Amino acid sequence: MGNKATGIIADNLANVVLKAMAFLFSNVKSKQEYLKTKDGWMNFSIGLTTEDGAVKQSIRFMGGKAKVEASIEGVDTLLTLQDTSVLAQLASLPPNEVLNLMLKNKMSSSGNMAYLEFFNLLLSVMMKDKQIKQMQAQKAEREAFGKTM
């Protein structure tokens, strides 16, 4: 499969995941509460793209609702991934590992870093059960490694 086909698949996958997130945070009260502060709703947008432009998706949170767009224009924070393989890593890493992608120069951001951290929290809320299993596996691996030293 060529790079163009991989890019189209990655863009569609990002769209589907962001739409699932938008549905969850727009319609499930317990999740929607994460978007509300004592001063009102958190209104912000996050864009997701790759260096080659294969992926261009954004999610906007406004007034307690979320909407996905196939555009990154005017977002508050833009995440730029090295390539589509980093998108898969972003979706599968536990929350405490996501920012390591920046340290490894696989992901960069521009705009409001606080929104990036908040978006990471929302991803954690959405992927909670999967991420708990991943962190338990990491802990077990570290313990097993420590016992063999």
Widest Cα–Cα separation across the chain = 53
Query: What's the pTM?
Result: 0.81
Above 60 in pLDDT, residue 12? yes
Which residue from 44, 17, 21 is spatially nearest to 122, judged by alpha carbons?
21
Tens-digit pLDDT profile for residues 130-145: 666 767 777 888 888 7
Sign (positive or negative) of CA dihedral 3, 4, 7, 9: negative
For position 149, what pLDDT does the model report? Answer: 47
Tens-digit pLDDT profile for residues 79-108: 999 998 888 887 777 766 777 888 899 999
For position 98, what pLDDT does the model report? Answer: 76
Q: Which two tokens stand for residue 139?
A: 């802990």
For position 130, what pLDDT does the model report? Answer: 64
